[in-house]
Amino acid sequence: MHLSPLHSNAPKAPTLCPPATHPPTPPHQDSPHYANEQRKDSAVEQKIARMQAQARALSPAELAAHTASMDARLAELEGTRDLSRTWWVLGQLGLGRVAGKVLV
């Protein structure tokens, strides 16, 4: 009976160990790119803090007025949307609509 190489009793070649995983290289903290990223992060953090302070300073009446204004603007924008050139697909059936025409 002949066995294939997969079933032979011959010694197997040693398997290679998976490559060692090294921790990511830390950024070069003295590089211009790193300094620029730190500056941008700081600017974003300051902007967030300012916006949070402004939100906390709003009275309930001001908040209600801003909410009503946003709702009115949203209704205005929704009324002007043009969906005549929108593609959509219905489930797994492959039905769709392109520029007002139904595709089958």
Look at residue 2 and tell me if it is in a domain.
no
* pLDDT at residue 4, as a whole number: 54
| Residue pair 96/89 in contact by the 8 Å Cβ criterion | yes
Look at residue 36 and tell me if it is in a domain.
no
Higher-confidence position of 50 and 93 = 50
- Structural domain for 61, as ranges: 45-70
Look at residue 8 and tell me if it is in a domain.
no
pTM listed for this prediction: 0.45
Give the whole-angstrom CA distance, residue 98 versus residue 88.
7
**Given a cut of 80, is residue 69 above it in pLDDT?**
yes
- Considering its fold, how many domains does the chain have in total? 1
Look at residue 14 and tell me if it is in a domain.
no
**Given a cut of 90, is residue 50 above it in pLDDT?**
yes
Q: What is the band of 19 on the pLDDT scale with cuts at 50, 70, 90? A: low
Mean pLDDT of 35-63: 94
Give the whole-angstrom CA distance, residue 20 versus residue 14.
17
Look at residue 6 and tell me if it is in a domain.
no
Look at residue 57 and tell me if it is in a domain.
yes
Look at residue 64 and tell me if it is in a domain.
yes
Look at residue 61 and tell me if it is in a domain.
yes
* pLDDT at residue 93, as a whole number: 54
Give the whole-angstrom CA distance, residue 34 versus residue 25.
13
* pLDDT at residue 45, as a whole number: 96
